[in-house]
Structure 1
């Protein structure tokens, strides 16, 4: 596990690169978008709320980045929206250098997506599984090495994949459901890399990451939806005392997206106190996350649920 002193100043220049960041309007996604743009990339801000995305775009542009920004509608809780976003992206862009599967929901009361999936599993995992599958050709057709970066959480370590009740219909615990979705993120990232390797696709890398404990709006959404002021104030106090900033929490994702050398199938997180804060480093995820049989079964279930089949055949010719 290599410790680093890596910061945004360590990022390479990204002029001419196109990056998609889901959930780019706030928190980790906003900070990553800001850093990518400062280094010269064209960033597609894939967001559910267009109003807040436009506000975020204006704020970043006011800082005079060398890169450019584009807002695009993406609701990861709707497979139709995921497909429409991908179709529109491919029609308007020749290249895709980095896909950051970042957006998510955390520890909310049980709700369902438009397609009837439990919200945390549906948005955090299935939406990104579908999005990556739809954009795989764009990643493969782009000259040079491209990357898929999937944001997980240290909470994945308590996760299990309940194949008998993936949608938590028989029993629901908000933290268990969140942990399942975050374990699914890591299993997906590793299995994607294994499938790329098996197909001799050596110019697309799949990397997982986690932010440690970063102060973002994500923590307050669960208490807000429960209507619990006590939990909301408790979460705010924890953020103030323990958490690192969202900008610091975005560093593992930025490292996974841009740092060299890095290999597909790696896991990046902060290397400081309890892996909750600090500079990014290569780490080990939970033992269960390396279970290839479980990962393959999750992949098959995800393909069946979303109707998205990945094509790992002959690489498209690049002109």
Structure 2
């Protein structure tokens, strides 16, 4: 039976490269994208390189929990099982804004939308014949801060870097906690996290001030989107992984290089904080699982 994979944000950057890697492995890929016209352009690009690629586009706007629910419903109507879910789409240090549901943009898009999506697709993941895999995309920025439970949505004072760090820390803590819960329920689904190092993607479009000025100095340490996607591709495909790992580049400061299992901050491994985050996430999304 053909493996089915979902890649969020599949039309650009890391998501596009991950989609190409899965197509190369003869998987059918559901491209979960907000902008359907850009998704069609990406599909055309992939088909030029891989004429036999099996691709399907389904709309997903992670800034709307209703859109996440609609996507899951549409997927379930067409597919009985899911082998790989890559929670890839993201937003980095934008001006302050909120999602349709009132969440700070980065926390809502990078983390909460994916938290709900994973839960809604759990039954399809359970049905995967040889065990499924969930890959959550984190970042070196997970080390920038904490989970600010007293002001999760940064309503008191917005710090875009702290907010981004929180969202990516949440993604990593979720990946670890999800794996613990999957194992506790004795499910043959593995949860693995990955980060792309410093990759040249359109995530950097919102850079301003000092960070923008530093870009030319950082550039020599960056890598292409294709190279940056390798950790999440390995996280999705490497049979030797047992679940609960975090993968990133192997080079200097994990900025670039071949993918390997890497370490993470002490906060990311705080089980009590992860349990609290899970509970709060269920409340915010209005959906409980595991």
Distance 1:159 1:193 in 2: 23
**1:98 Cα offset (Å):** 0.2
Corresponding residue of 1:297 = 276
CA contact (8 A) 2:81 2:126 kept: no
| Aligned with 1:85 (options 67, 71, 83) | 71
> Where does residue 119 of structure 1 map in the other structure?
105
1:53 and 2:32 are equivalent in the alignment = no
Deviations 1:144-171 (A, max 9, x none): 1100000000110122001000000011
Is the Cα contact below 8 Å between 1:159 and 1:182 reproduced in 2? no
15-24 or 74-83, which moves further after superposition? Answer: 15-24
CA RMSD of aligned residues (A): 1.5
Runs of 4 or more above 6 Å deviation:
none
Deviation of 1:234 after TM superposition, in Å, equals 5.4
Unaligned regions of 5+ residues in structure 2, if any? none
Choose between structure 1 and 2 for higher RCO, CA contacts under 8 A separated by at least 6 residues: 1
TM-superposition CA deviations, 1:272-319 (whole Å, max 9, x none): 111110111011111111100000000000000000111x4xxxxxxx
- 2:262 is the counterpart of 1:283: yes
Q: Equivalent residue for 1:271?
A: 250
Q: Secondary structure at the match of 1:20?
A: strand
| TM score, norm. by length of structure 2 | 0.96
The one of 2, 22, 38 equivalent to 2:8 is: 22
Aligned residues: 290
Any residues of structure 2 matched to 1:1-319 within 5 Å, and which? 16-201=2-187, 203-220=188-205, 222-223=206-207, 235=215, 237=216, 240-310=219-289, 312=290
How far, CA to CA, are the matches of 2:204 and 2:218 in structure 1? Answer: 9
Pairwise CA distance, 1:239: 6.6
Contact 1:38/1:65 (8 A) holds in 2: no
For structure 1, which segment, 298-307 or 192-201, has the greater mean C-alpha deviation from structure 2 after superposition? 192-201
What SS does structure 2 have at the residue aligned with 1:164?
Answer: helix
- CA deviation map 1:129-149 (0-9, x unaligned): 000000001000121110000
Partners of 1:133 and 1:261 in 2: CA distance: 25
Unaligned runs of 5+ in 1: 1-14, 313-319
After TM superposition, the score normalised by the length of structure 1 is: 0.88
